[in-house]
Structure 1
Protein backbone atom coordinates (compact mmCIF):
# COMPACT_ATOMS: atom_id res chain seq x y z
CA UNK A 1 0.00 0.00 0.00
CA UNK A 2 2.86 2.42 0.69
CA UNK A 3 4.23 1.96 -2.86
CA UNK A 4 0.99 3.06 -4.55
CA UNK A 5 1.48 6.91 -4.35
CA UNK A 6 5.03 6.56 -5.70
CA UNK A 7 3.85 4.39 -8.60
CA UNK A 8 1.04 6.83 -9.50
CA UNK A 9 3.45 9.81 -9.39
CA UNK A 10 5.96 8.00 -11.61
CA UNK A 11 3.26 7.14 -14.15
CA UNK A 12 1.93 10.73 -14.19
CA UNK A 13 5.46 12.02 -14.77
CA UNK A 14 5.97 9.68 -17.71
CA UNK A 15 2.64 10.68 -19.28
CA UNK A 16 3.51 14.37 -18.89
CA UNK A 17 6.76 13.71 -20.77
CA UNK A 18 4.59 12.76 -23.76
CA UNK A 19 1.74 15.26 -23.41
CA UNK A 20 3.74 18.42 -22.68
CA UNK A 21 6.06 18.28 -25.74
CA UNK A 22 3.09 17.37 -27.93
CA UNK A 23 0.99 20.29 -26.63
CA UNK A 24 3.92 22.72 -26.92
CA UNK A 25 4.55 21.76 -30.53
CA UNK A 26 0.84 22.03 -31.39
CA UNK A 27 0.54 25.50 -29.81
CA UNK A 28 3.69 26.72 -31.53
CA UNK A 29 2.47 25.42 -34.86
CA UNK A 30 -0.91 27.14 -34.51
CA UNK A 31 0.65 30.48 -33.54
CA UNK A 32 3.44 30.55 -36.08
CA UNK A 33 2.34 28.53 -39.11
CA UNK A 34 -0.33 30.96 -40.38
CA UNK A 35 2.08 33.91 -40.20
CA UNK A 36 4.77 31.96 -42.01
CA UNK A 37 2.35 30.90 -44.79
CA UNK A 38 1.10 34.51 -45.21
CA UNK A 39 4.64 35.81 -45.39
CA UNK A 40 5.85 33.21 -47.89
CA UNK A 41 2.73 33.07 -50.08
CA UNK A 42 1.07 36.51 -50.57
CA UNK A 43 -1.34 35.14 -53.20
CA UNK A 44 -4.66 34.01 -51.56
CA UNK A 45 -5.01 30.98 -53.84
CA UNK A 46 -1.51 29.88 -53.07
CA UNK A 47 -2.14 30.50 -49.37
CA UNK A 48 -5.18 28.15 -49.55
CA UNK A 49 -3.08 25.35 -51.02
CA UNK A 50 -0.28 26.03 -48.52
CA UNK A 51 -2.74 25.93 -45.61
CA UNK A 52 -3.95 22.49 -46.73
CA UNK A 53 -0.39 21.26 -47.03
CA UNK A 54 0.33 22.85 -43.65
CA UNK A 55 -2.36 20.66 -42.04
CA UNK A 56 -0.93 17.54 -43.62
CA UNK A 57 2.58 18.47 -42.47
CA UNK A 58 1.25 19.16 -38.98
CA UNK A 59 -0.35 15.71 -38.87
CA UNK A 60 2.85 14.05 -40.10
CA UNK A 61 5.16 15.93 -37.74
CA UNK A 62 2.97 15.47 -34.66
CA UNK A 63 2.43 11.80 -35.49
CA UNK A 64 6.19 11.29 -35.76
CA UNK A 65 6.78 13.19 -32.52
CA UNK A 66 4.05 11.24 -30.75
CA UNK A 67 5.50 7.96 -31.97
CA UNK A 68 8.98 8.90 -30.72
CA UNK A 69 7.68 10.01 -27.33
CA UNK A 70 5.47 6.93 -26.94
CA UNK A 71 8.35 4.67 -27.88
CA UNK A 72 10.53 6.28 -25.23
CA UNK A 73 7.71 5.93 -22.69
CA UNK A 74 7.09 2.28 -23.57
CA UNK A 75 10.81 1.54 -23.35
CA UNK A 76 11.02 3.07 -19.88
CA UNK A 77 7.92 1.16 -18.77
CA UNK A 78 9.41 -2.08 -20.09
CA UNK A 79 12.67 -1.41 -18.24
CA UNK A 80 10.81 -0.72 -14.99
CA UNK A 81 8.62 -3.79 -15.50
CA UNK A 82 11.67 -5.99 -16.17
CA UNK A 83 13.39 -4.68 -13.05
CA UNK A 84 10.27 -5.28 -10.96
CA UNK A 85 9.91 -8.78 -12.41
CA UNK A 86 13.56 -9.59 -11.63
CA UNK A 87 13.16 -8.23 -8.09
CA UNK A 88 9.97 -10.27 -7.61
CA UNK A 89 11.69 -13.42 -8.87
CA UNK A 90 14.61 -12.89 -6.47
CA UNK A 91 12.21 -12.25 -3.61
CA UNK A 92 10.13 -15.30 -4.51
CA UNK A 93 13.28 -17.43 -4.73
CA UNK A 94 14.55 -16.14 -1.37
CA UNK A 95 11.17 -16.79 0.26
CA UNK A 96 11.07 -20.29 -1.22
CA UNK A 97 14.60 -21.04 0.00
CA UNK A 98 13.76 -19.70 3.46
CA UNK A 99 10.61 -21.81 3.63
CA UNK A 100 12.55 -24.90 2.51
CA UNK A 101 15.20 -24.30 5.18
CA UNK A 102 12.52 -23.79 7.81
CA UNK A 103 10.81 -27.02 6.76
CA UNK A 104 14.11 -28.93 6.95
CA UNK A 105 14.84 -27.49 10.40
CA UNK A 106 11.33 -28.36 11.59
CA UNK A 107 11.68 -31.92 10.26
CA UNK A 108 15.04 -32.25 12.01
CA UNK A 109 13.67 -31.01 15.34
CA UNK A 110 10.59 -33.23 15.15
CA UNK A 111 12.70 -36.29 14.24
CA UNK A 112 15.04 -35.97 17.21
CA UNK A 113 14.16 -38.21 20.19
CA UNK A 114 14.96 -35.38 22.64
CA UNK A 115 12.51 -32.82 23.97
CA UNK A 116 13.42 -29.39 22.58
CA UNK A 117 11.82 -26.08 23.49
CA UNK A 118 12.49 -22.35 23.56
CA UNK A 119 11.15 -19.80 26.05
CA UNK A 120 11.53 -16.05 26.20
CA UNK A 121 13.30 -14.53 29.26
CA UNK A 122 9.95 -14.32 31.09
CA UNK A 123 9.30 -18.04 30.67
CA UNK A 124 6.75 -17.77 27.85
CA UNK A 125 7.05 -20.56 25.27
CA UNK A 126 8.12 -19.53 21.77
CA UNK A 127 8.54 -22.93 20.11
CA UNK A 128 8.89 -26.68 20.73
CA UNK A 129 9.17 -29.98 18.88
CA UNK A 130 6.86 -33.01 18.67
CA UNK A 131 8.41 -34.81 21.63
CA UNK A 132 7.75 -31.81 23.83
CA UNK A 133 4.17 -31.64 22.56
CA UNK A 134 3.73 -35.19 23.90
CA UNK A 135 5.07 -34.08 27.30
CA UNK A 136 2.46 -31.32 27.67
CA UNK A 137 -0.19 -33.20 25.69
CA UNK A 138 -0.84 -30.16 23.50
CA UNK A 139 0.12 -28.84 20.07
CA UNK A 140 2.84 -26.26 19.56
CA UNK A 141 0.19 -23.71 18.59
CA UNK A 142 -1.51 -24.26 21.95
CA UNK A 143 1.76 -24.20 23.93
CA UNK A 144 3.14 -21.07 22.26
CA UNK A 145 2.41 -17.96 24.30
CA UNK A 146 1.81 -19.89 27.54
CA UNK A 147 4.02 -20.80 30.53
CA UNK A 148 4.78 -23.95 32.55
CA UNK A 149 2.08 -22.98 35.04
CA UNK A 150 -0.55 -23.60 32.34
CA UNK A 151 0.42 -27.28 31.93
CA UNK A 152 2.03 -28.70 35.10
CA UNK A 153 1.49 -28.36 38.84
CA UNK A 154 2.84 -25.28 40.55
CA UNK A 155 5.70 -27.03 42.34
CA UNK A 156 7.09 -28.51 39.12
CA UNK A 157 6.53 -25.25 37.23
CA UNK A 158 8.47 -23.35 39.90
CA UNK A 159 11.29 -25.89 39.57
CA UNK A 160 11.40 -25.45 35.78
CA UNK A 161 11.43 -21.67 36.17
CA UNK A 162 14.22 -21.77 38.77
CA UNK A 163 16.39 -23.78 36.38
CA UNK A 164 15.68 -21.22 33.65
CA UNK A 165 16.85 -18.40 35.92
CA UNK A 166 20.02 -20.29 36.84
CA UNK A 167 20.96 -20.69 33.17
CA UNK A 168 20.25 -17.00 32.50
CA UNK A 169 22.22 -15.88 35.55
CA UNK A 170 25.20 -18.08 34.66
CA UNK A 171 25.07 -17.12 30.97
CA UNK A 172 26.11 -20.70 30.31
CA UNK A 173 24.50 -24.15 29.98
CA UNK A 174 23.15 -25.72 33.15
CA UNK A 175 22.06 -29.38 33.52
CA UNK A 176 19.88 -31.25 35.98
CA UNK A 177 17.93 -34.50 36.20
CA UNK A 178 14.17 -34.54 36.75
CA UNK A 179 11.38 -37.10 36.67
CA UNK A 180 8.45 -35.99 34.53
CA UNK A 181 5.11 -37.50 33.55
CA UNK A 182 3.97 -37.25 29.93
CA UNK A 183 0.44 -35.89 29.60
CA UNK A 184 -0.04 -37.71 26.29
CA UNK A 185 -0.12 -41.23 27.81
CA UNK A 186 0.88 -40.90 31.47
CA UNK A 187 4.28 -42.65 31.26
CA UNK A 188 7.22 -41.35 33.32
CA UNK A 189 10.75 -40.56 32.16
CA UNK A 190 13.91 -39.42 33.85
CA UNK A 191 15.22 -36.51 31.81
CA UNK A 192 18.71 -35.09 31.70
CA UNK A 193 17.75 -31.49 31.01
CA UNK A 194 20.21 -28.94 29.69
CA UNK A 195 19.23 -25.27 29.50
CA UNK A 196 21.27 -22.45 27.97
CA UNK A 197 20.66 -18.78 27.16
CA UNK A 198 20.09 -18.16 23.43
CA UNK A 199 21.10 -14.93 21.66
CA UNK A 200 20.55 -13.61 18.13
CA UNK A 201 23.34 -12.49 15.78
CA UNK A 202 23.43 -9.03 17.40
CA UNK A 203 23.87 -10.50 20.89
CA UNK A 204 20.31 -9.72 22.00
CA UNK A 205 18.91 -12.29 24.41
CA UNK A 206 16.12 -14.34 22.82
CA UNK A 207 15.41 -16.62 25.75
CA UNK A 208 16.29 -20.03 27.17
CA UNK A 209 16.82 -23.06 24.94
CA UNK A 210 16.05 -26.38 26.62
CA UNK A 211 16.92 -29.95 25.63
CA UNK A 212 15.64 -32.95 27.60
CA UNK A 213 17.14 -36.40 26.98
CA UNK A 214 15.51 -39.58 28.23
CA UNK A 215 18.00 -41.39 30.50
CA UNK A 216 15.44 -43.70 32.12
CA UNK A 217 16.96 -46.86 30.65
CA UNK A 218 20.48 -45.88 31.67
CA UNK A 219 19.22 -45.06 35.17
CA UNK A 220 17.53 -48.46 35.42
CA UNK A 221 20.73 -50.21 34.32
CA UNK A 222 22.72 -48.28 36.90
CA UNK A 223 20.26 -49.25 39.61
CA UNK A 224 20.43 -52.91 38.60
CA UNK A 225 24.22 -52.80 38.56
CA UNK A 226 24.23 -51.16 41.99
CA UNK A 227 22.02 -53.90 43.43
CA UNK A 228 24.09 -56.68 41.85
CA UNK A 229 27.36 -54.98 42.84
CA UNK A 230 26.40 -54.57 46.48
CA UNK A 231 24.75 -57.99 46.80
CA UNK A 232 27.54 -59.96 45.15
CA UNK A 233 29.24 -62.56 47.40
CA UNK A 234 32.48 -61.83 45.57
CA UNK A 235 34.78 -59.02 46.74
CA UNK A 236 34.72 -56.39 43.96
CA UNK A 237 36.42 -53.03 43.63
CA UNK A 238 36.62 -50.41 40.89
CA UNK A 239 39.77 -48.31 40.70
CA UNK A 240 41.80 -46.20 38.30
CA UNK A 241 44.59 -47.95 36.43
CA UNK A 242 47.50 -45.54 36.73
CA UNK A 243 47.24 -44.71 40.41
CA UNK A 244 44.91 -47.39 41.73
CA UNK A 245 42.50 -44.87 43.28
CA UNK A 246 39.40 -46.64 44.56
CA UNK A 247 36.26 -45.49 42.76
CA UNK A 248 33.88 -47.96 44.36
CA UNK A 249 33.97 -51.12 46.46
CA UNK A 250 31.20 -53.48 47.43
CA UNK A 251 30.50 -54.46 51.06
CA UNK A 252 32.20 -57.83 50.62
CA UNK A 253 35.45 -56.20 49.45
CA UNK A 254 35.45 -53.68 52.32
CA UNK A 255 34.78 -56.46 54.86
CA UNK A 256 37.58 -58.56 53.38
CA UNK A 257 40.09 -55.74 53.98
CA UNK A 258 38.63 -54.77 57.32
CA UNK A 259 37.87 -51.21 56.22
CA UNK A 260 34.68 -49.23 55.74
CA UNK A 261 33.80 -48.53 52.13
CA UNK A 262 33.87 -44.74 52.60
CA UNK A 263 37.38 -45.03 54.08
CA UNK A 264 38.66 -46.71 50.92
CA UNK A 265 37.08 -44.45 48.31
CA UNK A 266 39.40 -41.76 46.96
CA UNK A 267 42.52 -43.52 48.22
CA UNK A 268 44.96 -45.85 46.53
CA UNK A 269 46.11 -49.30 47.62
CA UNK A 270 49.60 -47.90 48.23
CA UNK A 271 48.27 -45.18 50.52
CA UNK A 272 46.48 -47.81 52.56
CA UNK A 273 49.50 -50.17 52.44
CA UNK A 274 47.48 -52.84 50.69
CA UNK A 275 50.18 -53.36 48.02
CA UNK A 276 53.89 -53.46 48.92
CA UNK A 277 55.05 -52.00 45.58
CA UNK A 278 53.57 -49.65 42.96
CA UNK A 279 52.83 -52.70 40.78
CA UNK A 280 49.39 -52.31 39.10
CA UNK A 281 46.64 -54.13 40.91
CA UNK A 282 45.46 -55.79 37.71
CA UNK A 283 47.50 -58.40 35.92
CA UNK A 284 45.79 -57.45 32.63
CA UNK A 285 46.20 -53.72 33.16
CA UNK A 286 47.48 -53.01 29.65
CA UNK A 287 44.44 -54.62 28.07
CA UNK A 288 42.21 -52.54 30.36
CA UNK A 289 43.61 -49.16 29.35
CA UNK A 290 40.97 -48.31 26.73
CA UNK A 291 38.38 -48.05 29.51
CA UNK A 292 40.64 -46.30 31.99
CA UNK A 293 39.36 -48.54 34.81
CA UNK A 294 40.28 -51.88 36.34
CA UNK A 295 38.13 -54.36 38.24
CA UNK A 296 39.57 -56.63 40.89
CA UNK A 297 37.73 -59.55 42.48
Structure 2
Protein backbone atom coordinates (compact mmCIF):
# COMPACT_ATOMS: atom_id res chain seq x y z
CA UNK A 1 0.00 0.00 0.00
CA UNK A 2 1.36 3.39 -1.01
CA UNK A 3 1.40 5.63 2.04
CA UNK A 4 3.61 8.30 3.65
CA UNK A 5 5.16 5.74 6.00
CA UNK A 6 6.31 3.70 2.97
CA UNK A 7 8.12 6.77 1.62
CA UNK A 8 9.71 7.49 5.01
CA UNK A 9 10.77 3.86 5.30
CA UNK A 10 12.26 3.94 1.80
CA UNK A 11 14.31 7.03 2.68
CA UNK A 12 15.14 5.52 6.12
CA UNK A 13 13.54 8.45 7.95
CA UNK A 14 12.87 7.61 11.58
CA UNK A 15 9.98 8.86 13.66
CA UNK A 16 12.32 11.21 15.50
CA UNK A 17 12.85 13.15 12.26
CA UNK A 18 9.11 13.46 11.51
CA UNK A 19 7.62 16.70 12.77
CA UNK A 20 4.61 18.60 11.43
CA UNK A 21 5.50 22.08 10.33
CA UNK A 22 3.84 24.83 12.37
CA UNK A 23 1.33 27.00 10.59
CA UNK A 24 2.28 30.54 9.65
CA UNK A 25 -0.31 33.26 9.95
CA UNK A 26 1.89 36.32 9.38
CA UNK A 27 2.94 36.23 5.73
CA UNK A 28 4.54 39.62 6.21
CA UNK A 29 7.29 37.98 8.28
CA UNK A 30 7.79 35.43 5.48
CA UNK A 31 8.02 38.21 2.88
CA UNK A 32 10.55 40.19 4.92
CA UNK A 33 12.66 37.06 5.42
CA UNK A 34 12.54 35.92 1.77
CA UNK A 35 13.30 39.35 0.31
CA UNK A 36 15.69 40.44 3.06
CA UNK A 37 14.03 43.85 3.40
CA UNK A 38 12.12 45.41 6.27
CA UNK A 39 9.66 47.11 3.92
CA UNK A 40 8.69 43.91 2.06
CA UNK A 41 4.99 43.07 2.25
CA UNK A 42 2.95 40.38 0.44
CA UNK A 43 0.12 41.45 -1.82
CA UNK A 44 -3.13 39.42 -1.88
CA UNK A 45 -3.34 37.29 -4.99
CA UNK A 46 0.29 37.97 -5.96
CA UNK A 47 3.00 35.30 -5.81
CA UNK A 48 6.53 35.92 -4.63
CA UNK A 49 9.19 36.56 -7.29
CA UNK A 50 12.18 34.23 -7.50
CA UNK A 51 14.52 36.98 -8.73
CA UNK A 52 13.92 39.12 -5.60
CA UNK A 53 14.95 36.43 -3.08
CA UNK A 54 18.16 36.74 -1.12
CA UNK A 55 21.22 34.89 -2.41
CA UNK A 56 20.96 31.98 0.04
CA UNK A 57 17.22 31.53 -0.57
CA UNK A 58 17.79 31.53 -4.34
CA UNK A 59 20.03 28.49 -3.91
CA UNK A 60 17.57 26.85 -1.49
CA UNK A 61 14.67 27.39 -3.92
CA UNK A 62 16.61 25.71 -6.73
CA UNK A 63 17.41 22.79 -4.42
CA UNK A 64 13.76 22.42 -3.39
CA UNK A 65 12.60 22.66 -7.02
CA UNK A 66 14.79 19.68 -7.96
CA UNK A 67 14.57 17.43 -4.89
CA UNK A 68 11.62 18.15 -2.59
CA UNK A 69 8.93 19.84 -4.71
CA UNK A 70 9.90 19.21 -8.36
CA UNK A 71 8.84 21.93 -10.76
CA UNK A 72 10.15 23.61 -13.87
CA UNK A 73 8.48 26.92 -13.12
CA UNK A 74 10.64 28.94 -10.76
CA UNK A 75 9.76 32.47 -11.87
CA UNK A 76 7.13 32.88 -9.16
CA UNK A 77 6.63 31.19 -5.78
CA UNK A 78 3.20 30.55 -4.27
CA UNK A 79 2.40 30.86 -0.57
CA UNK A 80 2.84 27.13 0.16
CA UNK A 81 6.35 27.04 -1.30
CA UNK A 82 7.18 30.33 0.44
CA UNK A 83 6.20 28.80 3.80
CA UNK A 84 8.29 25.70 3.01
CA UNK A 85 11.36 27.83 2.19
CA UNK A 86 10.82 29.78 5.41
CA UNK A 87 10.74 26.60 7.52
CA UNK A 88 13.71 24.97 5.78
CA UNK A 89 15.83 28.11 6.07
CA UNK A 90 15.17 28.12 9.83
CA UNK A 91 16.31 24.48 10.10
CA UNK A 92 12.94 22.99 11.08
CA UNK A 93 12.24 19.30 10.50
CA UNK A 94 9.31 18.20 8.37
CA UNK A 95 7.32 15.09 7.48
CA UNK A 96 8.96 14.50 4.10
CA UNK A 97 6.98 11.32 3.39
CA UNK A 98 3.62 13.01 3.88
CA UNK A 99 4.70 16.00 1.79
CA UNK A 100 5.85 13.85 -1.16
CA UNK A 101 2.76 11.61 -0.87
CA UNK A 102 0.51 14.68 -1.13
CA UNK A 103 2.36 15.93 -4.20
CA UNK A 104 2.10 12.58 -6.01
CA UNK A 105 -1.56 12.15 -5.09
CA UNK A 106 -2.49 15.59 -6.38
CA UNK A 107 -1.29 14.70 -9.89
CA UNK A 108 -4.24 12.33 -10.31
CA UNK A 109 -6.76 15.12 -9.77
CA UNK A 110 -5.29 17.48 -12.35
CA UNK A 111 -6.98 16.03 -15.44
CA UNK A 112 -6.99 19.23 -17.47
CA UNK A 113 -3.23 19.72 -17.19
CA UNK A 114 -0.24 17.78 -18.38
CA UNK A 115 2.49 17.16 -15.84
CA UNK A 116 5.64 15.10 -15.94
CA UNK A 117 5.68 12.21 -13.47
CA UNK A 118 7.54 13.35 -10.36
CA UNK A 119 9.85 11.19 -8.24
CA UNK A 120 10.22 8.41 -10.87
CA UNK A 121 13.18 6.85 -9.05
CA UNK A 122 11.23 6.78 -5.77
CA UNK A 123 8.16 5.17 -7.38
CA UNK A 124 10.26 2.58 -9.25
CA UNK A 125 12.27 1.78 -6.13
CA UNK A 126 9.14 1.26 -4.01
CA UNK A 127 7.60 -0.95 -6.73
CA UNK A 128 10.74 -3.07 -7.01
CA UNK A 129 11.01 -3.34 -3.23
CA UNK A 130 7.38 -4.53 -3.15
CA UNK A 131 8.17 -7.27 -5.70
CA UNK A 132 6.49 -5.73 -8.73
CA UNK A 133 7.94 -7.43 -11.82
CA UNK A 134 9.03 -5.03 -14.51
CA UNK A 135 9.84 -6.95 -17.68
CA UNK A 136 12.85 -5.58 -19.55
CA UNK A 137 11.19 -6.66 -22.83
CA UNK A 138 8.15 -4.48 -22.21
CA UNK A 139 8.04 -1.79 -24.93
CA UNK A 140 8.55 1.73 -23.74
CA UNK A 141 5.76 4.17 -24.49
CA UNK A 142 5.77 7.91 -24.49
CA UNK A 143 3.78 9.47 -21.70
CA UNK A 144 0.26 10.35 -22.79
CA UNK A 145 -0.57 12.65 -19.92
CA UNK A 146 -1.29 12.36 -16.20
CA UNK A 147 -1.84 9.01 -14.52
CA UNK A 148 -5.62 8.75 -14.19
CA UNK A 149 -8.47 6.48 -15.28
CA UNK A 150 -8.36 7.62 -18.90
CA UNK A 151 -4.60 7.19 -19.12
CA UNK A 152 -4.80 3.67 -17.66
CA UNK A 153 -7.50 2.60 -20.14
CA UNK A 154 -5.43 4.00 -22.98
CA UNK A 155 -2.39 2.09 -21.75
CA UNK A 156 -4.38 -1.18 -21.61
CA UNK A 157 -5.49 -0.73 -25.22
CA UNK A 158 -1.89 -0.24 -26.32
CA UNK A 159 -0.60 -3.24 -24.38
CA UNK A 160 -3.47 -5.61 -25.47
CA UNK A 161 -2.63 -8.52 -27.81
CA UNK A 162 -3.06 -7.41 -31.44
CA UNK A 163 -5.81 -8.94 -33.62
CA UNK A 164 -4.67 -11.96 -35.71
CA UNK A 165 -1.92 -13.06 -33.41
CA UNK A 166 -1.26 -16.80 -33.40
CA UNK A 167 -2.25 -18.27 -30.04
CA UNK A 168 0.25 -20.38 -28.18
CA UNK A 169 -0.37 -24.15 -28.34
CA UNK A 170 -1.40 -25.86 -25.14
CA UNK A 171 1.29 -28.53 -25.38
CA UNK A 172 4.08 -26.02 -25.69
CA UNK A 173 5.85 -25.22 -22.51
CA UNK A 174 5.01 -21.80 -21.21
CA UNK A 175 7.50 -19.11 -21.83
CA UNK A 176 9.74 -18.74 -18.89
CA UNK A 177 9.38 -15.43 -17.22
CA UNK A 178 12.61 -13.63 -16.47
CA UNK A 179 13.70 -13.70 -12.91
CA UNK A 180 12.38 -10.90 -10.83
CA UNK A 181 15.02 -8.32 -10.20
CA UNK A 182 16.31 -7.93 -6.74
CA UNK A 183 14.79 -5.07 -4.77
CA UNK A 184 16.85 -2.01 -5.21
CA UNK A 185 18.56 -0.73 -2.15
CA UNK A 186 17.05 2.47 -0.84
CA UNK A 187 19.10 5.55 -1.46
CA UNK A 188 21.34 6.95 1.17
CA UNK A 189 19.92 9.18 3.85
CA UNK A 190 19.87 12.74 2.60
CA UNK A 191 19.01 14.28 5.96
CA UNK A 192 22.62 14.90 6.90
CA UNK A 193 23.36 16.29 3.45
CA UNK A 194 20.33 18.60 3.63
CA UNK A 195 21.34 19.72 7.12
CA UNK A 196 24.88 20.39 5.89
CA UNK A 197 23.54 22.39 2.94
CA UNK A 198 21.28 24.43 5.21
CA UNK A 199 24.14 25.11 7.63
CA UNK A 200 26.32 26.20 4.74
CA UNK A 201 23.55 28.45 3.49
CA UNK A 202 23.12 29.94 6.96
CA UNK A 203 26.86 30.65 7.11
CA UNK A 204 26.68 32.15 3.64
CA UNK A 205 23.77 34.31 4.76
CA UNK A 206 25.78 35.57 7.73
CA UNK A 207 28.72 36.36 5.44
CA UNK A 208 26.44 38.19 3.03
CA UNK A 209 24.92 40.24 5.85
CA UNK A 210 28.39 41.09 7.20
CA UNK A 211 29.59 42.01 3.71
CA UNK A 212 26.57 44.23 3.11
CA UNK A 213 27.10 45.94 6.48
CA UNK A 214 30.73 46.58 5.63
CA UNK A 215 29.73 47.87 2.20
CA UNK A 216 27.24 50.29 3.76
CA UNK A 217 29.96 51.55 6.14
CA UNK A 218 32.37 52.00 3.22
CA UNK A 219 29.68 53.83 1.25
CA UNK A 220 29.11 56.20 4.17
CA UNK A 221 32.86 56.80 4.47
CA UNK A 222 33.05 57.41 0.72
CA UNK A 223 30.18 59.90 0.96
CA UNK A 224 32.03 61.71 3.77
CA UNK A 225 35.22 61.86 1.69
CA UNK A 226 33.27 63.18 -1.27
CA UNK A 227 31.71 65.89 0.90
CA UNK A 228 35.15 66.90 2.18
CA UNK A 229 36.49 66.94 -1.36
CA UNK A 230 33.61 69.14 -2.49
CA UNK A 231 34.27 71.53 0.41
CA UNK A 232 37.96 71.68 -0.48
CA UNK A 233 37.09 72.29 -4.13
CA UNK A 234 34.73 75.12 -3.18
CA UNK A 235 37.39 76.63 -0.92
CA UNK A 236 39.94 76.37 -3.71
CA UNK A 237 37.53 78.02 -6.13
CA UNK A 238 36.92 80.82 -3.62
CA UNK A 239 40.66 81.26 -3.17
CA UNK A 240 41.16 81.40 -6.92
CA UNK A 241 38.37 83.96 -7.18
CA UNK A 242 40.00 86.07 -4.45
CA UNK A 243 43.35 85.73 -6.22
CA UNK A 244 41.80 86.93 -9.47
CA UNK A 245 40.24 89.89 -7.68
CA UNK A 246 43.62 90.67 -6.10
CA UNK A 247 45.34 90.55 -9.50
CA UNK A 248 42.71 92.88 -10.97
CA UNK A 249 43.17 95.29 -8.05
CA UNK A 250 46.96 95.21 -8.46
CA UNK A 251 46.67 95.96 -12.17
CA UNK A 252 44.35 98.88 -11.41
CA UNK A 253 46.80 100.24 -8.80
CA UNK A 254 49.68 99.92 -11.28
CA UNK A 255 47.65 101.82 -13.87
CA UNK A 256 46.92 104.56 -11.31
CA UNK A 257 50.61 104.74 -10.39
CA UNK A 258 51.58 105.05 -14.05
CA UNK A 259 49.05 107.86 -14.48
CA UNK A 260 50.44 109.69 -11.43
CA UNK A 261 53.96 109.28 -12.79
CA UNK A 262 52.93 110.74 -16.11
CA UNK A 263 51.34 113.72 -14.34
CA UNK A 264 54.47 114.19 -12.22
CA UNK A 265 56.58 114.13 -15.36
CA UNK A 266 54.39 116.82 -16.93
CA UNK A 267 54.63 118.94 -13.75
CA UNK A 268 58.38 118.49 -13.67
CA UNK A 269 58.57 119.65 -17.27
CA UNK A 270 56.47 122.71 -16.51
CA UNK A 271 58.68 123.50 -13.47
CA UNK A 272 61.75 123.23 -15.64
CA UNK A 273 60.23 125.67 -18.12
CA UNK A 274 59.38 128.13 -15.33
CA UNK A 275 62.85 127.78 -13.87
CA UNK A 276 64.39 128.45 -17.22
CA UNK A 277 62.28 131.57 -17.67
CA UNK A 278 63.18 132.89 -14.21
CA UNK A 279 66.87 132.18 -14.41
CA UNK A 280 67.31 133.43 -17.99
CA UNK A 281 69.88 136.44 -18.11
CA UNK A 282 68.65 140.03 -19.04
CA UNK A 283 69.35 141.18 -22.59
CA UNK A 284 72.48 143.44 -23.05
CA UNK A 285 71.88 147.08 -24.26
CA UNK A 286 72.60 147.80 -27.84
CA UNK A 287 75.50 150.14 -28.90
CA UNK A 288 73.31 152.85 -30.52
CA UNK A 289 71.36 153.47 -27.33
CA UNK A 290 72.10 156.80 -25.60
CA UNK A 291 74.33 156.47 -22.61
CA UNK A 292 72.89 157.10 -19.22
CA UNK A 293 74.24 160.03 -17.25
CA UNK A 294 75.27 158.81 -13.85
CA UNK A 295 74.67 162.23 -12.27
CA UNK A 296 71.07 162.15 -13.32
CA UNK A 297 70.47 159.46 -10.83
CA UNK A 298 71.15 161.96 -8.02
CA UNK A 299 69.19 164.95 -9.36
CA UNK A 300 66.00 165.87 -7.48
CA UNK A 301 62.74 164.85 -9.01
CA UNK A 302 59.81 167.25 -9.42
CA UNK A 303 58.19 165.70 -6.43
CA UNK A 304 61.20 166.49 -4.34
CA UNK A 305 61.08 170.14 -5.40
CA UNK A 306 57.36 170.59 -4.62
CA UNK A 307 56.64 168.53 -1.55
CA UNK A 308 53.26 170.12 -1.02
CA UNK A 309 51.99 168.78 -4.27
CA UNK A 310 51.64 165.39 -2.74
TM (norm. structure 2) is: 0.29
Q: Bigger relative contact order, structure 1 or 2, given CA contacts below 8 A and separation 6+?
A: 2
Greater Rg over alpha carbons, structure: 2
TM (norm. structure 1) is: 0.30
